[in-house]
Amino acid sequence: MKLVWSPESASKAYIDTVKSCELHQGSGVAELLSAMAAGWNAKLIVETWSQGGRIPTSIGLAIAARHTGARHVCIVPDQRSRVAYIDAISSTITAPEIIVGDPEEVMTELDSIDFLVVDSGRKDFTRFLRLARLSQRGAVLVCKNAGGGKTASCGFKWRGVLDSGKRVVRTAYLPVGEGIDMAHVAGTGSSSANKRRWVKHFDHITGEEHLIRTT
């Protein structure tokens, strides 16, 4: 099983986010991430937020979660950020599930993440990526606010951040908002599954034809 793209879900989430974020200037990131999360039919959407951060991305992800029936979790560093986050988002949309704590404390509580958004403005953003327990069908990982070479300047490389069990299929940088750096991680066992083939073998002695599945 792997992530399968749905243009219809992506389009609906995108349009709904545009309507909800029309009062927020520069909310292109929100619409894009909402469409991506819904288009990939994410079932566990996780994001990080800290006091002073913008709220449109959370609105977009909440809309995507509504379209896919996903669990939407926002991780904040402390109680002050939690209160600020609720105040900021509650006037627009129902707040998602909120978890307070450091990466090592909270990531063990979240299993099968298939859409993760972290803020590269946070010093600990790579720890969230490294500790994430991803879905067996694959995942999309996003670093927002990655413009101006922020991720590159701190020595960030996707293959260096993720452990050997997470195979990066492709990466991309998009100059949207303050910059988005993203990676598509393959599902568990997908690489070996793609190598399996059916090979025909003809036995000249018996005249029988055999089909052999390679591994």
Task: Supply the mean pLDDT for the chain.
Answer: 83
The domain spanning residue 130 has which CATH number?
3.40.50.150
- Does some domain include residue 213? no
| Residue 38: φ, ψ to 5° | -75, -40
pLDDT, average across residues 93-111: 93
- Does some domain include residue 85? yes
pLDDT number for residue 193: 42
pLDDT tens for 76-88 read 999 999 999 999 9
Label the pairing between strands 71-76 and 115-119. unpaired
pLDDT number for residue 194: 45
- Does some domain include residue 209? no
- Does some domain include residue 49? yes
Is the pLDDT at 200 greater than 70? The verdict is no
pLDDT number for residue 27: 58
Domain residue limits at 180: 7-188
Share of the chain above pLDDT 70, in %: 80
Q: Give me the number of domains the chain comprises.
A: 1
pLDDT tens for 183-195 read 999 987 544 444 4
- Does some domain include residue 118? yes
pLDDT number for residue 214: 45
Share of the chain above pLDDT 90, in %: 53
pLDDT number for residue 148: 65
pLDDT, average across residues 34-55: 94
CB environment 110-140: b (16+ within 10 A), e (fewer): beebbbbbbbbbbeebbbbbebbebbebbbb
Backbone CA torsion sign across 57, 63, 66, 67:
negative
- Does some domain include residue 138? yes
pLDDT number for residue 94: 83
pLDDT, average across residues 85-109: 91
- Does some domain include residue 2? no
- Does some domain include residue 58? yes
pLDDT number for residue 190: 47
